[in-house]
Chain A
């Protein structure tokens, strides 16, 4: 158990809908990272927040947005969902900003878009 929690574990929805994925980082970690993992694309970095502020952006679509709240939990919002958005979405956390020596991953949210 990494100490990072994600809800829900599974999510099934239809095209065109909007969903929110939630992540709580490890106690004391200020940085939160979001990743998308699909079979053909591997692990793709989406976005990173540090202490409530956006700090890095990867291959995140304009239909996707995220935020980190004062209690440090984070939400990833996915809108106008398409079939291709079906994937495993991971949240990770680390103590420092932009840490690359160790990120702790949550169990993931499996999103299925029908």
Chain B
């Protein structure tokens, strides 16, 4: 069956770099997305990788290796406001058409 694995929790200090990994097992892979969600808030889109390689958007970068079924989100120059949950997600093709599968999320705690 389909699954996404990501660490449940990561802690880092302000100004540091942190990498959140995501491994997936799905059928009909259509790309890996990352979302950020602050406590009590809605998920917000961060990045999307359809092809292998690194995508950079400001302090955030996302990487995909389709051959390894693996991706990561890299957050640089961490700020306190980056404390949030981060979800990786894939679109998968199944018996009832396609579906969206989200990982259980990684809670990032940024300390001063």
| Interface residues, chain A, with chain B CB atoms under 8 Å away | 2, 33, 42-45, 48, 55-58, 90, 92, 98, 100-108
B104 at the interface (CB under 8 A from A): yes
* CB proximity to A under 8 Å, residues B70-99: 87, 89-91, 96-99
In the bound complex, residues from chain B placing their C-beta under 8 Å from that of A107 are 41-42
B23 at the interface (CB under 8 A from A): no
What is the size category of the interface that chain B forms with chain A?
Answer: 20 to 34
B99, A100: Cβ atoms closer than 8 Å:
no
Number of A-B contacts (CB under 8 A): 60
A56, B105: Cβ atoms closer than 8 Å:
no
- A97 to B80 Cα, complex, angstroms: 36
Q: Which residue of B lies closest to A45 (CB)?
A: B100
Q: Taking A42-B104, A56-B98 as contacts, is the C-beta distance between A100 and B89 under 8 angstroms?
A: yes
- A85 to B43 Cα, complex, angstroms: 20
In the bound complex, residues from chain B placing their C-beta under 8 Å from that of A44 are 102
| Interface residues, chain B, with chain A CB atoms under 8 Å away | 30-31, 33, 41-45, 48, 50, 87, 89-91, 96-105
Q: Which residue of B lies closest to A97 (CB)?
A: B98
In the bound complex, residues from chain A placing their C-beta under 8 Å from that of B33 are 100-102
In the bound complex, residues from chain A placing their C-beta under 8 Å from that of B102 are 42-45
A55, B44: Cβ atoms closer than 8 Å:
no
Q: Which residue of B lies closest to A98 (CB)?
A: B98
In the bound complex, residues from chain A placing their C-beta under 8 Å from that of B91 are 98, 100
Q: List 28 A-B contacts (CB under 8 A).
A: A2-B42, A2-B44, A33-B100, A42-B103, A43-B89, A43-B102, A45-B101, A56-B96, A56-B97, A56-B100, A57-B97, A57-B99, A58-B99, A90-B43, A92-B43, A98-B91, A100-B30, A100-B31, A100-B48, A100-B89, A100-B90, A100-B100, A101-B45, A101-B48, A102-B45, A103-B45, A105-B42, A107-B41
Closest chain-A Cβ to B57's Cβ sits at a distance in Å of 12
A108, B42: Cβ atoms closer than 8 Å:
yes
Q: Which residue of B lies closest to A4 (CB)?
A: B42
